[in-house]
Structure 1
Amino acid sequence: MIEITVQTLNAMLSDIEHLIDVRETDEYAEGHVDRTVNLPLSTIDQWLPTLSKNSTYTVICRSGRRSSLAIEQMKRHGITGVNVNGGTLAWQGAGYPVTKK
């Protein structure tokens, strides 16, 4: 599995085309990386078919576990995913801002 650090995510944020946060809606509302789209892992059967095999998706969650699970399922469908190591906890721990809504 391809992984990047939060520092790499921060440096590349404006260039990343598809950034998915797989936490539940309430967790997402408490604070998320700007430019993410909230697609909860619990609903992956609904949104996975909408992803393109020709794109790369960067996936984040709270700590990296759920994003890893999402990427495993994506990989089984021929979709490329990049995991953000440490997730939103590492992002906030590094002092990067989160958006709340």
Structure 2
Amino acid sequence: MTGPVPAVSVADLPAGATILDVRENDEWTAGHAPDAQHLPMSELTGRLDELPDADPIYVVCRSGGRSARVTAYLTQQGRSAVNVDGGMQAWQAQGRPLVGEQPGVAPDVV
């Protein structure tokens, strides 16, 4: 892919969007979007068959850097992908819901 990576702000994320969270396990466990699918960036190339069957896939990380790289990679592979600018930090700042995987611990973006 040449040119800019397709991107959308959290505020403009379509309702019902398929979200792929590419953060590492500890970040996911601390807090994530309720309906997101988790596939760490470090495991992506070996698990491409686990990608959601959606068009497009909205890719998110903590702040938008890793997800931009994954979006570029997926686009190069012929997949329709869009980076979520600002990542989960922007998600949390806008008061969007978070769920965590640690019982008794409030979800947070780390």
Work out which of the two has the higher radius of gyration on C-alpha atoms and give 1 or 2: 2
Gaps of 5+ in 2: 102-110
Partner residue, 2:6: 2
Q: What SS does structure 2 have at the residue aligned with 1:42?
A: helix
Higher helix fraction (1 or 2): 1
Tell me: CA distance 1:30–1:3, structure 2 relative to 1, closer, same or farther (3 Å).
same
Contact residue 59 and residue 67 of structure 1 kept, 8 A: yes
Aligned length: 97
Deviation of residue 47 (structure 1)? Answer: 2.1
Deviation of residue 99 (structure 1)? Answer: 0.7
Deviation of residue 51 (structure 1)? Answer: 4.0
- TM-score, L = length of structure 2: 0.79
Across the aligned residues of Structure 1 and Structure 2, the Cα RMSD in angstroms comes to 1.8
Q: What SS does structure 2 have at the residue aligned with 1:20?
A: strand
Tell me: CA distance 1:89–1:46, structure 2 relative to 1, closer, same or farther (3 Å).
same
Deviation of residue 62 (structure 1)? Answer: 0.2
Partner residue, 2:100: 100
Q: Share of identical aligned residues, percent?
A: 34
Q: Which amino acid aligns with 2:6?
A: I
Tell me: CA distance 1:54–1:35, structure 2 relative to 1, closer, same or farther (3 Å).
closer
1:30-66 CA distance string (max 9 Å, x none): 0111100110000011222444787311100000001
Q: Which amino acid aligns with 1:74?
A: L
Gaps of 5+ in 1: none
Q: What SS does structure 1 have at the residue aligned with 2:90?
A: helix
- TM-score, L = length of structure 1: 0.85
